[in-house]
Amino acid sequence: MRRHIIPVARKLGITKRIGWHTFRHTYCTLLRSTGAELKTMQELLRHSTIRVTLDTYTQAVTAEKRTAQEAVVALLFPERTRET
């Protein structure tokens, strides 16, 4: 981690803390984005409950976040959405 991953992350401009659990969070989110079943995700990550998998490890998929954010922007700035 210290000799390879963190130096490369810093060169890429990533300044957030990176640990081995960062990869678990990413893996879980990627599983979710592929449409994997929740039970499958739980078992692959070896969690005792689905609640741990969803509450701790899964983040909203980027496309879903973007859609939600664009909807809010459209409500606040309708003239901007017509221009694009």
* Interval 44-58: pLDDT, tens: 999 999 888 888 877
* C-alpha distance from residue 12 to each of 3, 9, 17, 24 (Å): 15, 5, 13, 20
Q: Counting Cβ atoms within 10 Å, is residue 22 exposed (0-12), middle (13-18) or buried (19+)? A: middle
pLDDT on residue 49? 92
Give me the pLDDT at residue 76, please: 86
Q: Which two tokens stand for residue 12?
A: 């890429």
| pLDDT over threshold 80, residue 84 | no
The predicted-structure confidence for 8-51, as pLDDT tens digits, reads as follows: 999 999 999 998 888 988 898 888 878 899 999 999 999 999 88
* Residue ranges of domains in the chain: 21-83
Residue 72 has pLDDT above 80, yes or no: yes
Does the pLDDT value for residue 81 go beyond 80? no
